[in-house]
C-alpha cells in the first residue's frame, strides 16, 4: 500500500504523515529528508546546483538511510543539520536539478515498495507513485505555515522572525512550483486537505478519512 502526501513547505506534512502512518500501520518515508541530505552531501563535495552528469552519479552512490525519525548520510546522523533554513533553501535548489531527481527516484520507489508506506514530499502522487492507493494534497495559508515553521525552528533553538520565515516559505514555494521537472502541484486525483484552521488532530482525522474513502473506492 502506498499513500502519497504532497504539499507546500510547512503545511504539517511531516507530523501528519507520521501520525497517519501510525494509525494505518504503515512506515513513513520523509522524501524531503532525502533531498535535504543530498543537498548537504553535494554542497560538502563542492557541487553547485547544476545539471551535470557527475552529480547524478554522486547522488546514486550515496548511502542514504531514513528511519522513522532520523536520516543517515554515509553512516552519519545528519537529522539536525538538514533542518536549518539554509538547508531548506539548499534542498530546494538541488531539488530543481533534473539529475538530482533522477538519482533519487529509484531509492524512493524501492523504499515505498519495501513495506506499506506513507510517503510525503512534493511529487509523490504526480511522479514517484502516480498509481498510489491514496493521495492527499495537504496545504494551509502561507501565514499559518510560517507560524508553524517558526515554532518548529524555535524548538530547535533556531532564530528568525515571522516575516523572515514567511518570506523563506514563499520563496521556496515559488521555486518548487515553477521548476521544470516534477513541480509542486496537486495530482488531479488527490484529495485537497486545507489545514489552515484545523488542529493537528483535525488534520490527521481529515487525512485519515480521505485515505479510507480512496482505499474503499479502490476496492470497489
Q: Which stretch binds ligand CDP (CB under 6 A): 10-18, 21-29, 55-63, 155-163?
A: 10-18
Spatial separation of the C-alpha atoms in residues 137 and 122, rounded to whole Å:
9
In the complex, least distance from residue 211 CB atom to ligand CDP, rounded to whole angstroms: 18
- Which of 28, 135, 148, 172 is in the footprint of ligand CDP by CB under 6 A? 172
Told to check if 144 binds ligand CDP by CB under 6 A, we report: no
Q: Which stretch binds ligand CDP (CB under 6 A): 15-23, 57-65, 73-81, 85-93?
A: 85-93
Helix (DSSP H) and strand (DSSP E) numbers for the chain: 8, 8
DSSP string, 52-104: -HHHHHHHHHS-EEE-SS-EEETTEE-TTGGGSHHHHHHHHHHHTSHHHHHHH
Told to check if 91 binds ligand CDP by CB under 6 A, we report: yes
- Which of 26, 35, 146, 198 is in the footprint of ligand CDP by CB under 6 A? 35
3-class SS at 139?
strand
Spatial separation of the C-alpha atoms in residues 189 and 119, rounded to whole Å:
16
**Would you tell me the crossing angle of helices 85-95 and 162-178 to the nearest 10 degrees?**
10
User: Total number of residues binding ligand CDP (CB under 6 A)?
Assistant: 18
- Which of 3, 5, 27, 36 is in the footprint of ligand CDP by CB under 6 A? 36
Host H or E run for residue 215? helix 200-219
Query: Is 165 or 213 the residue whose CB approaches ligand CDP more closely?
Result: 165
Q: Which stretch binds ligand CDP (CB under 6 A): 18-26, 40-48, 50-58, 87-95?
A: 87-95
In the complex, least distance from residue 145 CB atom to ligand CDP, rounded to whole angstroms: 8
CA angle 212, 215, 217 (to 5 degrees): 110
Written as nine digits, the cell of 110 is: 524501492
Name the pairing type of β-strands 191-194 and 76-77: unpaired
Q: Which residue has the cell 552531501?
A: 41
Told to check if 126 binds ligand CDP by CB under 6 A, we report: no
Q: Which stretch binds ligand CDP (CB under 6 A): 30-38, 58-66, 134-142, 204-212?
A: 30-38
Binding stretches for ligand CDP (CB under 6 A):
9-10, 13-14, 31-32, 35-36, 88, 91-92, 95, 121-124, 172, 176
Amino acid at each position: 500500500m502506498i499513500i502519497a502526501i504532497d504539499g507546500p513547505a510547512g503545511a504539517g506534512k511531516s507530523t501528519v504523515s507520521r501520525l497517519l502512518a501510525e494509525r494505518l500501520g504503515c512506515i513513513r518515508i520523509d522524501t524531503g529528508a532525502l533531498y535535504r541530505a543530498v543537498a548537504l552531501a553535494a554542497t560538502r563535495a563542492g557541487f553547485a546546483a547544476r545539471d551535470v552528469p557527475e552529480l547524478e552519479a554522486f547522488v546514486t552512490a550515496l548511502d542514504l538511510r531514513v528511519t522513522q525519525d532520523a536520516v543517515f548520510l554515509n553512516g552519519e546522523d545528519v537529522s539536525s543539520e538538514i533542518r536549518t533554513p539554509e538547508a531548506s533553501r539548499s534542498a530546494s535548489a538541488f531539488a530543481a536539478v533534473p539529475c538530482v531527481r533522477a538519482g533519487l527516484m529509484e531509492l524512493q520507489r524501492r523504499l515505498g515498495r519495501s513495506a506499506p508506506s506513507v510517503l510525503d514530499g512534493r511529487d509523490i502522487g504526480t511522479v514517484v507513485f502516480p498509481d498510489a492507493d491514496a493521495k492527499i494534497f495537504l496545504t494551509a495559508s502561507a501565514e499559518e505555515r510560517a507560524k508553524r515553521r517558526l515554532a518548529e525552528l524555535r524548538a530547535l533553538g533556531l532564530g528568525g522572525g515571522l516575516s523572515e520565515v514567511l518570506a523563506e516559505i514563499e520563496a521556496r514555494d515559488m521555486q518548487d512550483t515553477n521548476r521544470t521537472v516534477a513541480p509542486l502541484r496537486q495530482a488531479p486525483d488527490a484529495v485537497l486537505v486545507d489545514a489552515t484552521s484545523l488542529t493537528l488532530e483535525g488534520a490527521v482525522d481529515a487525512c485519515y478519512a480521505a485515505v479510507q474513502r480512496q482505499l474503499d473506492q479502490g476496492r470497489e
